[in-house]
Amino acid sequence: MKPTLEDLRLRSGLTAAELQRQANISHSTWRLMAKKLQPVSATMVSRVLTVLNARLGTAYSLDDVDCLIVMR
């Protein structure tokens, strides 16, 4: 089962606000991503993954996580 972005955020120990700031995304964009309310751009998800991968020492890609991404 693929982890969600929220799973990875919790595992990283970052608060939502810290992740939003480091990934340079808005609160509303993070909310859409974390709760999978609607598809978001691959660029926004990549920003979040860059921060989470650096924090966790992992190499998750867009295909490795459970999130709704607008067609690339």
Per the structure block, which two tokens stand in for 27?
């609160």
Per-residue pLDDT of the chain (72 residues; tens, 9 = 90+): 999 999 999 999 999 999 999 999 999 999 999 999 999 999 999 999 999 999 999 999 999 999 999 865
Ordered structural domains, the chain, with CATH: 5-57 (1.10.260)
Q: What pTM was estimated for this model as a whole?
A: 0.93
**Per-residue pLDDT, 70:** 86
Which helix H or strand E contains 70, and what residues bound it? Answer: none
Q: Which of 17, 13, 25, 43 lies closest to 67 in space, CA to CA?
A: 43
**Per-residue pLDDT, 71:** 66
Cα 14 off chain centre by: 12
